[in-house]
Copies of this chain bind each other. A is one copy, B any other.
Amino acid sequence: MVDEFRWPLRVYYEDTDTGGVVYYANYLKFFERARTEWLRSADITQQDLIKNDQVMFVVKSAAIDYHAPAKLDDQLEIGVRVEKLGKATVNFSQQAWRHSDHKQELLCSGLIRVGCVHAVTFRPVPMPLTMLEKINDLYTLGGMAHHIAATN
């Protein structure tokens, strides 16, 4: 079992701005892509969560530090790690790394707090147990095993 997930992506023209670097809001897109693929790595899709469990994830807060700019054609890797797992919320730490030759450089790091809500009412609801179990099979997640035990 691993405790971190990494998702590769490339910087295209659409991601950059006239300053010559990736526009600052777009790191939040990159982070969301990586969280989506982290879920998919455990065989969970957001479409299924909506259809089968009537739940969606919404971002409650995001704290981002910009260390160095990414540029056109850069090959990035986005990290996803669960820092804290509540009944209806997950705290992620995420990073954007640039890969070139044999080194990696940290460009951006963030803490993203995500909440599980009902897909229609947007009210907070507990995360589906089957989702938690699938994730727990793959990843080492602080208090997650305990949480699942407590939920049963």
Q: Can you tell how many copies of this chain the complex includes? A: 4
Least CB distance, A121 to chain B, in whole angstroms: 12
List of B residues within 8 angstroms of A17 by Cβ: 13-14, 16-18
A61 at the interface (CB under 8 A from B): yes
Is chain A's interface secondary structure helix, strand, loop, or mixed overall? mixed
- Cα–Cα distance between A94 and B66 once the two chains are bound (Å): 18
Q: Is B36's CB under 8 angstroms from A32's CB?
A: no
Q: Which single residue of chain B is at the shortest CB-CB distance from A109? A: B61
Q: Is B72's CB under 8 angstroms from A18's CB?
A: yes
Q: Is B59's CB under 8 angstroms from A72's CB?
A: no
Q: Is B24's CB under 8 angstroms from A12's CB?
A: no
User: Would A61 and B59 be within 8 Å (CB), given that A13-B17, A32-B25, A71-B47 are in contact?
Assistant: no
